[in-house]
Structure 1
Amino acid sequence: MLSATLNQTAVRPFAHPNDLDRKRIERALKARKRYRYVTPSVTTTIGGYRIESPCCSRNIDRDGGVVDVALLLHDADGARWQLFRRDHEKGLWQLDSTHERLPLALERLNVDPDRTFWQ
């Protein structure tokens, strides 16, 4: 009975989301190159963070509503960050890139040379 209890507690919980990294993401988004006049929000999801923003371009939402921008998931086994972009036509998340560190993923998101995130 005791060994079963120890095995259950040995399973490590998700390291993400956590409030520290959520705040780091919020601060980093202030350095983005596109749509600097809107305020994106960072919400938590299982294993990571979802970034949403008002759609000022009206390309995705003609009414200017809040749209998904990016999804950041932490792969605990590989200790990597997966950065996803939203395919709004299909309503699916697509893997954009994988990064060893969170700042590298955020740099890719902030620069967004092909406008795949900030549409």
Structure 2
Amino acid sequence: MKNKPKILYVDDEKMNITVFQLTFSKVFEVLTADSGAKGLEIFTTEPDIKFVISDMRMPEMDGLEFIRNIKKVRENIPCSILSGHQQCPEILTALDNGEIVDYWLKPFDKEAIEHLVLKYVNNTAGS
């Protein structure tokens, strides 16, 4: 079996992390972090992460702040927000300016996430 694409999922709720891992571990190698700071640490030590998904509302560092920090490390990494809350102006701005490639509401649509992540992973496989 070929190597699964490595993705990073950041969420401050353990149950969300568990559900995400169980849902996507057959298709992706899922690395997880329970805070933006931990996510940044993992991202900087794992150069082969192909896609990043983050919760929006987390203590200390929200999802967009986390994404802005990792883009300082690797500008072209595709990122998305997965949140239990409706879109806010900050998320719409992040979509418009290309900071994030999509936004999903919890409970998430497995097929939609899988399809989009694979599209980006396959498009960046040669880069």
Q: How high is the TM-score relative to the length of structure 1?
A: 0.41
Which of the pair is proportionally richer in strand?
A: 1
Which structure is larger by alpha-carbon Rg, 1 or 2? Answer: 1
Which of the pair is proportionally richer in helix?
A: 2
Q: How high is the TM-score relative to the length of structure 2?
A: 0.39
